[in-house]
A and B are shown apart, each in its own frame.
Chain A
Amino acid sequence: MRPAAREKAWTYDALRPGHEFGETHFRIDAGRVARWAEIYGGTEGDAVPPGLLVVEMMKAYLDLVHPRPPGNIHAGQRLRCLDMDVPADAALTASVRCLDKTLRKGRGWVTFDVVLRSRERDVLQGEIVTIWAA
Chain B
Amino acid sequence: MGGVTMKTAQLPRTIPALSLETDAALTWRYAELTADFNPIHIDPEFAAGTGFGGPILHGTMGLNLLVEAVAAAFGRPMPALRFDIRFIRPAPVGAIIRAGGELSDPVNGVYSVFVETADGQRTVEGTCSL
Contact A78 B82, beta carbon cutoff 8 Å: yes
Tell me whether A81 and B2 are in contact in the complex, defined as CB-CB below 8 angstroms, given that A54-B63, A54-B64, A62-B36 are known contacts. Answer: no
Q: Which residues of A (78-127) have their CB < 8 Å from a CB of B?
A: 78-85, 121-122
Query: Given the complex of chains A and B, what is the CA–CA distance between A50 and B73 in angstroms?
Result: 13
Q: Is residue A2 within 8 Å, beta carbon to beta carbon, of the partner chain?
A: no
Q: Is residue A51 within 8 Å, beta carbon to beta carbon, of the partner chain?
A: yes
Residues of A within 8 A of B64 (CB): 40, 51-52, 54-55
Q: Which residues of A (50-81) have their CB < 8 Å from a CB of B?
A: 50-52, 54-55, 58-59, 62-63, 73-81
Contact A50 B68, beta carbon cutoff 8 Å: yes
- A38 and chain B: residue at smallest CB distance: B29
Q: Is residue A6 within 8 Å, beta carbon to beta carbon, of the partner chain?
A: no
Chain A interface bracket (under 10, 10 to 19, 20 to 34, 35 or more): 20 to 34
Tell me whether A54 and B78 are in contact in the complex, defined as CB-CB below 8 angstroms, given that A39-B26, A75-B86 are known contacts. Answer: no
Partner of A58, one of B20, B60, B78: B60
- Chain B, residues 51-81, CB within 8 Å of chain A (1/0): the string is 0000000011101110110110000111011
Chain A CB within 10 Å, residue with most, of B35, B36, B60, B82: B60
CB distance from A9 to the nearest CB of B (A): 14
Q: Is residue A10 within 8 Å, beta carbon to beta carbon, of the partner chain?
A: no
Residues of A within 8 A of B120 (CB): none
Tell me whether A74 and B34 are in contact in the complex, defined as CB-CB below 8 angstroms, given that A84-B78, A85-B2, A85-B77 are known contacts. Answer: no
Contact B33 A55, beta carbon cutoff 8 Å: yes
Please list 20 pairs of residues, one from A and one from B, whose beta carbons are closer than 8 Å in the complex, sorted by A's number. A38-B29, A40-B65, A50-B67, A51-B63, A51-B71, A52-B64, A55-B33, A55-B34, A58-B36, A59-B35, A62-B36, A74-B60, A78-B85, A80-B81, A81-B3, A82-B80, A83-B3, A85-B77, A121-B2, A122-B1
Q: Assuming A51-B63, A51-B71, A83-B2, what are 20 further A-B pairs, CB within 8 angstroms?
A: A36-B33, A39-B61, A45-B76, A54-B67, A59-B36, A62-B36, A75-B86, A76-B86, A76-B87, A77-B60, A77-B83, A77-B85, A78-B83, A79-B83, A80-B80, A81-B80, A81-B81, A83-B1, A84-B77, A85-B78
- Give residues in B with beta carbon < 8 Å to A: 1-3, 20, 26, 29-30, 32-36, 59-61, 63-65, 67-68, 70-71, 76-78, 80-87, 126
